[in-house]
Amino acid sequence: MGRSDHNHNGYSLLELAVALAIFSTLLLISVPHIHHAVKRYQTAQFLEQLTNDLSLVAAEARAKKGAAYLSVVPNSRSYYISFNGVRRPMVFAPNGMTFTSNFNDDRLWFRIDGQVSQGGTFKLLERNGRGYHIVVQLSSGCFDVRSATQ
């Protein structure tokens, strides 16, 4: 009879504190990895959109026999495409990255045969210089994405 018979229907405060501490530590370890994964995904999506838009502008110039270009908007990390004076919505690069070009007036013009008016490079870079160069060939109008480090 000296022994008390208690029914334990829950966890003690100490058990909850230990579980919360373990969970918090695991969360703190995983957050930077999640951030980098999201940034890689956003960068891949931007590059895919850009390469699709380059192909689209060339095809539209050929099909409609009209003026078409892709224009980089300086200091805004963005670009837009235009067909016969109709401008499409701007596409923005991921936060923390710059998007520039070395084309005259930051515009890549496509002639009615779908060829480019000049060769050059688009640059999508992080602050540390890592990123991508999208090189457009004058002779063929073809482009390729290259990893860049500065």
Condensed to tens digits (0 to 9), the pLDDT of residues 6-34 reads 566 788 988 899 999 998 888 888 777 78
How confident is the prediction for the chain on average, in pLDDT? 88
Asked if residues 136 and 84 have their Cβ atoms less than 8 Å apart, the reply is no
The whole-number pLDDT of residue 3 equals 53
Tell me how far CA of residue 40 lies from CA of 46, 72, 79, 128, 133, in angstroms.
Answer: 10, 22, 20, 15, 16
Q: What's the average model confidence in pLDDT over 92-97?
A: 92
Match domain 13-148 to its CATH number in 1.10.1240.10, 3.30.930.10, 3.40.50.970, 3.55.40.10: 3.55.40.10
Determine the residue type at 41: Y
The whole-number pLDDT of residue 35 equals 79
Asked if residues 50 and 41 have their Cβ atoms less than 8 Å apart, the reply is no
Q: Is residue 44 scored above 90 in pLDDT?
A: yes
Asked if residues 85 and 60 have their Cβ atoms less than 8 Å apart, the reply is no
Asked if residues 43 and 124 have their Cβ atoms less than 8 Å apart, the reply is yes
Residue linked to tokens 């029914």: 7
What is residue 116's DSSP assignment? B
